[in-house]
Amino acid sequence: MLLKAVARLSVVDRFLPLWIVGAMALGVAAGHLWPDVGAALDSVKVAGVSLPIAFGLFWMMYPVLAKVRYGKLGAVGGNGKLFATSLAFNWLLGPLLMFVLAWVLLPDLPHYRTGLILIGLARCIAMVLIWNMLACGSNEVAAVLVALNSLFQILFYSVLGWFYLTVLPTWLGADPSAFHVSMLTIAKSVLLFLGLPLAAGAATRGLLVRSKGESWYERRFLPRIGPAALLGLLYTIVLMFAMQGDKIVRAPLDVVRIALPLVLYFAIMFGSSFVIARKLGFSYEDTASLSFTAAGNNFELAIAVSVGLFGIASGEALAGVVGPLIEVPALLALVYLSLWLKRRWFAAAAGTAPSSPALEGSP
């Protein structure tokens, strides 16, 4: 059954893991061969993030947000149980789990440990939309959960950062880390990574549906812009790894040490949220959206905070850079796991035909 499903995919989708691994390898190689490329890409910044990266994030997210049926958000907003579950995973379990994994697995590497904790506090508001769409989750639910995470990120990132880096370590007998990030800094990051592509996607749907009609928009326009999301993802991956490729090559053992808690984190967060969501009776689409939102992290924000607080050459910044190196293949693997679980656990409700992780198909 799985082989038949793969055979029906387009060439782009069938070899998606290869494109992503190739983009990562190209970025690392470029950063290692030309160590100054990172400084050049980082020389022009918006809200603490290089402008080329910001452009890539917009390019990646705009097609996904243009697919959201914004008229259905009101109905989605009435699902209090779904939102409560998402908030519990994102703002209670997620940061605590990363803190525990970092302290248990990196007791001798405080700089990397701090970098991982900053990652755990930064809930995903960007790339999760790509993974959710590939897994055939609900675009509407994902958009609402991302917006909810954005609001909580503005309100609580600074508070939780202070608690997990300066208060909780003293309870364990360790030296605290200095931490101060203003709410304005976080708000700028949210506006850049989510606000602009969200506004563009909503405006595109509103204007074109009024002028061309819903059928034309869904059947003609969306399939044309769909592949742009994948191109934006690959472009962003190349640039992110090019900026830190030399560090990754020079410290392979450190990368492995940082990678272990990250892999465990992604597996535990996705697996536990998927199982609990199913037990609570959520549909597959809602379950996938909740699970990928819980498992993903806002590495752009974590990197920006690490660089701002500890410097671009710090261990904290390296931990932030290793994050996407692990997240991209890990979350892609979870996309295929999610689709397999859909056939095993949700076949009665969704039918027996397997879904494919297509970027260019209809939403």
- How sure is the predictor about 60, in pLDDT bands with cuts at 50, 70 and 90? confident
Question: 278-295: per-residue pLDDT in tens?
Answer: 999 999 999 999 999 999
In a domain, 356, yes or no: no
Determine the Cα–Cα distance for residues 1 and 46; give it in Å rounded to an integer: 47
In a domain, 43, yes or no: yes
Q: Which of 7-16, 168-177, 178-187 is most confident? A: 168-177
Q: Which residues of 223-251 are buried (b: 16+ CB within 10 A; e: fewer)?
A: eebbbbbbbbbbbbbbbbbbbbbbbbeee
Total number of domains constituting the chain = 1
In a domain, 350, yes or no: no
Query: Mean pLDDT across the stretch 31-42?
Result: 77
Q: Which residue has the tokens 């689709």?
A: 339
Percent of the chain with pLDDT over 90: 23
Output the average pLDDT for the chain: 80
What lies within 8 Å, CB to CB, of 218 at 6+ separation is 362, 363
Quick one: pLDDT at residue 140? 84
Determine the Cα–Cα distance for residues 204 and 130; give it in Å rounded to an integer: 19
Determine the Cα–Cα distance for residues 119 and 115; give it in Å rounded to an integer: 6
Contact 106, 119 (CB under 8 A): no
Question: 233-250: per-residue pLDDT in tens?
Answer: 788 778 877 876 777 777
In a domain, 2, yes or no: no
Question: 316-352: per-residue pLDDT in tens?
Answer: 878 887 887 788 889 889 999 999 999 888 876 554 4
Q: Cβ–Cβ contacts within 10 Å for residue 167, how many?
A: 11
Quick one: pLDDT at residue 5? 43
Specify the amino acid at residue 64. V
Specify the amino acid at residue 18. L
Reading the block at residue 205, the tokens are: 């749907």
β-sheet bridge partners, residue 123: 297
Quick one: pLDDT at residue 322? 82
The closest of 76, 75, 61 to 236, measured between CA atoms, is 61
- How sure is the predictor about 155, in pLDDT bands with cuts at 50, 70 and 90? confident
Cα Rg for the chain, rounded, in angstroms?
20
In a domain, 346, yes or no: no
The DSSP annotation for 226-241 comes to: HHHHHHHHHHHHHHHH
Reading the block at residue 250, the tokens are: 């020079």
Reading the block at residue 298, the tokens are: 């806002």
DSSP state of 93: I
CATH number, position 322: 1.20.1530.20
Contact 132, 296 (CB under 8 A): no
3-state secondary structure of 50: strand
> Model's pTM, two decimal places?
0.75
Contact 183, 158 (CB under 8 A): yes
What lies within 8 Å, CB to CB, of 113 at 6+ separation is 102, 103, 106, 107
Reading the block at residue 46, the tokens are: 């918006």
Query: Mean pLDDT across the stretch 162-168?
Result: 87
- Structural domain for 327, as ranges: 9-340
- How sure is the predictor about 67, in pLDDT bands with cuts at 50, 70 and 90? confident
Determine the Cα–Cα distance for residues 158 and 193; give it in Å rounded to an integer: 18
Question: 259-276: per-residue pLDDT in tens?
Answer: 999 999 999 999 999 999
In a domain, 271, yes or no: yes
pLDDT for residue 203 is more than 50: yes
In a domain, 3, yes or no: no
In a domain, 359, yes or no: no
- How sure is the predictor about 116, in pLDDT bands with cuts at 50, 70 and 90? very high
